[in-house]
Amino acid sequence: NAGVMQNPRHLVRRRGQEARLRCSPMKGHSHVYWYRQLPEEGLKFMVYLQKENIIDESGMPKERFSAEFPKEGPSILRIQQVVRGDSAAYFCASSPLISNTEAFFGQGTRLTVV
């Protein structure tokens, strides 16, 4: 049973480009969460999605960031017109049920904006 798969593992973008980060949840999981880890910081919640629905995006920056979890395919976190401050590790987690005590994390995508 594969775990939560994120790709790419490392992504380098120039300022102003778009970054697309992908997350495939564990088999049977229909809830996806994105977290961001800035250098020397803890992870911070960004957004919670179910299939075709954004449930809670209270942690998402108001501009340039968007997320989706389509009926088919992985969840996508999109960052438009990236800036240096977007450089961070982005982690995705998934769980089968909201009441489950544990979400499983992927290995993260390390985004570097140059």
Partner 1 sequence: ELKVEQNPLFLSMQEGKNYTIYCNYSTTSDRLYWYRQDPGKSLESLFVLLSNGAVKQEGRLMASLDTKARLSTLHITAAVHDLSATYFCAVVVSGGSNYKLTFGKGTLLTVNP
Per DSSP, which regions of the chain are E strands?
5-7, 10-13, 19-24, 31-37, 43-50, 53-56, 65-68, 75-79, 88-95, 104-105, 109-113
Total interface residues for partner 1 by CB under 8 A: 27
**Contact call for residue 65 and partner 1 (CB under 8 A):** no
How far is C-alpha 46 from the geometric centre of its chain's CA atoms? Answer: 8
**Contact call for residue 91 and partner 1 (CB under 8 A):** yes
**Contact call for residue 95 and partner 1 (CB under 8 A):** yes
**Contact call for residue 56 and partner 1 (CB under 8 A):** yes
Q: Which residue has the tokens 């970054």?
A: 19
Q: Looking at 41, 51, 81, 83, which residue binds partner 1 (CB under 8 A)? A: 41
- Sign of torsion, CA 42 48 50 54? negative
**Contact call for residue 99 and partner 1 (CB under 8 A):** yes
Stretch that binds partner 1, among 11-19, 21-29, 79-87, 100-108 (CB under 8 A): 100-108
Most distant pair of Cα atoms in the chain: their distance? 40
Binding site for partner 1 (CB under 8 A): 3-4, 31, 33, 35, 40-45, 48, 56, 59, 91, 95, 98-108
